[in-house]
Structure formats: C-alpha cells, structure tokens
Chains A and B, each alone.
Chain A
C-alpha cells in the first residue's frame, strides 16, 4: 500500500474531521496528575487540542479500551416469570486510536491469541474490529524501554493499521492494513502523496530511533529454565505482591468474574485480576501457589515460557512500564538477566 504524508499543521483539522464520525482515543494530559509532573494517559478526546502526541509513554497501556478494567457482562433481574438477563449495548460508532505507541499496538495481537483461542471472546473482538489503530513512532524512548529485545522498535508496526513517523514538520504515514488504507482514503485532504525520498528518510529515522533503545534482554533462555530451579526462591523477595506490574502491563490479561447485587437484581462483571494476589488461585480446599515466589514464577514463566510454548511469541512487548512503576524496585529485565546468567553458569559447570 502506498505510503502517505501528513503535515503536522494539518493534524488538528484531521482530528476535527475524525471526531465528526468516530470516537477518537489518544494520549492526552491526565487531569488527575496535572499538578504533578505532566503525565499522559490514553483517553477519549473531544477536541484536537486534547491530543498530546509527543507525550512520551502514557502511564497506562491501551488494553483497557478492548479489555476494560471493569466490564458489565450482563444485568439480571428476578421477575414473576423468572430471571431476565440483559447484555449491555456495545458502542456502535467506529473508534480511532490516534497516537498510540508502537509497543501498545504490538500488545494487541498478543492478547488476540488468548481471547481468540478455543471459544472466542465476542466483546473483545467486537471492540477490536470497530477500532482502527494509528501509532506514532517514539521520538524519545525512555531508558526503561526494551522493545527491541521482543521484536519491536520505536517504529514497530505490529498491531497498527497506520504508523506515523515524524520527519521535521511532516509525518511519514505508513499504511499497514486494509483498515489503515480505508482510514487514509477517508481523509484525502490531509493524507497526501508521499515522495520516495520521504520513504527513505523514514527508514533512516527508524534505524536511528532503534539505536536509542539501550536496555536489552535475552528472553530465549527462559524457554528452557526449570520450574524447580532454586533461583526462583531468591529472585524477588522485595516484591510486595501489589499487582501494579500486571495492571500496567499491556499484555497481562488475567481476569476475575464477580456478581454485584442481590438475589433480586444486579450484574455480573469481569474485573482485571493479578497472579500476584494470593486469592488468585485459592480454592476452598487447596492453594497451589501459597508462597510469593510461586506467584512471581508464574508471572515470569507465563510471559517467557508458557505463552511462548502455546503461541511462539513472548507475552511481553518490552514497554518498560513494570520497570518504571514497581514501588519495590523489581526490574524484570534484571530478573531475566539473572536467570539467564545462572543457567549459563550451570551449563558451563
């Protein structure tokens, strides 16, 4: 598909045009945090000036727009004739995510595998199908980013329909999917013809940006690490099981299902959950993961051994949020390095 060019100066008018037809979600200044250091969150935006395209990595990932932290599955009401179950109406307007970071888009195909295998999750895929994803290349990756170790990059294209790469006062527009082509075709006044020279400039920029990712991990050895490796017990004693890493993670997808209400009326909800929590696997008669180390092992093994065994990819895109936000200083890249070094040392013996 032919690439395009978008002038920075045209972005407000383009967003205005999109808002007339679709829900637009993008990085914007978080109001809750506005008296502290400015931080971006992905929010629904209502005017072009809400959008903050060079915000850096938003505090939370994009996953809540497909897999909400609290989702009403249905309401129930007991009447004379029995139980009446009503599912909520889903949003019918199309949705455009404008300005997602490539790592957050890359996480979506990873989650698609889980929500799609066996019985498909209908509401998740409804939202996926109704959303077009426009990513913007990362101009200034953070020192906690490690996407290049997981197959991504600041100009990565996985999960995106359109990628914007800033080149001076224009964006190079990579059209990546049919949905992306439809979006670009819908706004011909703004998405203009691009010269071959612009493509070359984009490639140069992509290479330069990739070099800015300095944090590296090698997740491959974790594919072979033993479940009963003695290292597991010492690795993360400072972890306080708060679950922040799992909630901020764009690929963590574990959930709980709870009823809210009484026997007359209420709703069943799906809620984000975390393998860090003791209750996560606790049954009335047994608890397979009573100690902390078992729960952290589950997190690492799920991301770098179990999911790869099932889907041939890691359950991690290297966004670095868990590294940046852990209150106890647990650094997953350091954990991976220590496990890898320990394995190598033992193999050398």
Chain B
C-alpha cells in the first residue's frame, strides 16, 4: 500500500485564539492525538505550513511560534479572503488541518555570533517573532539584537504583550513606530515609516545581518535604506509571499524564474533576489 497522502494534512486542535488586532488573530494548534503538551515540531523559523479549515480550503502561513516552543505551534492570520475569513470564524476547540513545515527558513546558523536586526511591518512580524524568540532563547549565541517594528496604527501592532516584554529587556533594543496619523494619545513610540525610523536607528553594519518581513512596498524601501546605511545585499534577508497550493514545488504557481518560493524560499537574501525576474 501507499503511504499517507502527500497532500493530506494532520488534524489539529485549536487550543487558543488571541485577537491581536481588529483583523489579525493568532491560533495555537497541536495535533489532536498529541494534546498533552509533549508535541515537538521540528522546523526552522521562516518556514511555513499549509493551514486549512475543512470545507473552506487551504492557505500558506508562516509559522509564528519559535522552534524552541514545545507542545504547540502558532500562526497569525490576517483576515483578507475566503480561507482567512474561515479561520477568523473558528472557536477554541475546533479542528483544522496543517501540513508542513515547508520551504527554506531563515539561515539561523549564519546568524549565530552576529548582530541581528529584525525589521518588521504589520503582520510581517509573525515569522520574525518566531526567529526573535528563537534567538532570545539562545541569547548568549548572538551579538546585539535590535527589533524595529511598525504598523499603520497603534491598533494594528501585533503581539502587544510581547512587544512590552521586549521593550523591558536590557539585552535587546526594541524600537516601535506607527505611520503618521496612526498614533493615539497613549502612544509613546515613534511616529514615522519603518524605513525612516530604521535609518535613525542606524545599526552597525559590521558583523550584522538584517532580517526583514512586511508589505512588499515596505521591504522595497527598507532595502533602499539598508543599502544607504552601507549594508551589502548579502546582509539583507527577507521572505516572499506568492500564491501557493501544494507548498512542495509541484503545483507550479509560485515560481520566480526557475526558483520556487515554496521550495527554494520563502526566505531569500537580497543578493539572490536582485538577480531574479521582476515578477513578484
């Protein structure tokens, strides 16, 4: 007989749902048959999975929890279409499908013993959150850790409790910002676009890697700012989003030139990206 179907997901229980913003929720999931907190899922930060609501369909989302987390995985989903609407309608205790991890994650081993700058925008913080906690859980292995994170408005900042934890830590620097007009009276952070704030922070170039995730337009300007600050294309790492169905290099729709975002990515260095056809 054949083995388990390649595209058949594992059934997972939604253990917890956190409403991050009006349109983003974080889902904590564990396999139905390993609900006792002992589940270990081997993956790299930056990898993704295909998440599904049975009857509504499947969609790819980055893994938002750290690989060091035992017992469950998390993904954060912004409501913007059929599958994401279905996720937002779920209640704790419901069951969903998951298959993964897929793709090439962040180059964790290359980050070790370096300064790491995390630059995120909006829901783009999700895969970075996985990596940030992974680095914090092995804090001694890294140089300076700097987080620059922004959203359209204070209400659109995700993981607010963790942002407070990071702000309170002395072993990392956390800089938060919201787009002009997005601040409220209680806001004590920066007001300005992420690339401009990043230029003010001006991280050291030497022995540093920058990992950035966010809306494509933000990434474009973040890259320009980084090049202006003196970073080389090899020092800039980002993650791409493309339409995907299989997640394993077969369904044929996420390629950029001969590379498949699902298989060769989603993580690419800017050095790799600038040689690819402009079709993403």
Residues of A contacting B170 in the complex (Cβ-Cβ under 8 angstroms): none
Residues of B contacting A268 in the complex (Cβ-Cβ under 8 angstroms): 7, 52, 54, 58
The residue from B11, B13, B250, B258 contacting A255, defined by CB atoms under 8 A apart: B250
Residues of B contacting A275 in the complex (Cβ-Cβ under 8 angstroms): 252-253
How many contacting A-B pairs (Cβ < 8 A)?
A: 134
CA distance A264 to B54 in the complex (A): 9
Which B residue's beta carbon lies closest to that of A72?
A: B5
Which A195-215 residues have C-beta < 8 A from chain B?
A: none
- A82 and B11 within 8 A (CB): yes
Q: Quick check: which of B132-140, B151-159, B240-248 contacts chain A, the rest being far away? A: B240-248
Say whether chain A's binding surface is mostly helix, strand, loop, or mixed: mixed
Q: Check A230 for interface membership: any CB of B closer than 8 A.
A: no
Q: Check A68 for interface membership: any CB of B closer than 8 A.
A: no
Q: Check A57 for interface membership: any CB of B closer than 8 A.
A: no
- B257 and A283 within 8 A (CB): no
Q: A118-B263, A281-B243 are in contact. Are A270 and B7 (CB under 8 A)?
A: yes
Q: Quick check: which of A10-18, A97-105, A285-293 contacts chain B, the rest being far away? A: A285-293
Which A residue's beta carbon lies closest to that of B250?
A: A114
- The contact string, 1 if C-beta is below 8 Å from chain B, for chain A 276-320, is 000011111110110000100010011001110110000000000
Q: Check A76 for interface membership: any CB of B closer than 8 A.
A: yes
- Classify chain A: how many residues form its interface, as a range: 35 or more
- A85 and B3 within 8 A (CB): no
Q: Check B57 for interface membership: any CB of A closer than 8 A.
A: yes
**Distance to closest chain A CB from B261 (angstroms):** 10
- A280 and B7 within 8 A (CB): no
Q: Check A263 for interface membership: any CB of B closer than 8 A.
A: yes
Q: A227-B277, A256-B251, A259-B52 are in contact. Are A73 and B5 (CB under 8 A)?
A: yes
CA distance A195 to B58 in the complex (A): 58
Q: A288-B279, A294-B279 are in contact. Are A255 and B252 (CB under 8 A)?
A: yes
Q: Check A87 for interface membership: any CB of B closer than 8 A.
A: yes
CA distance A285 to B241 in the complex (A): 10
> Which residues of B come within 8 Å of A, CB atoms?
1-9, 11, 13, 32, 52-58, 80-81, 95, 97, 102, 216, 241-243, 245-246, 248-253, 255, 257-258, 263, 277-280
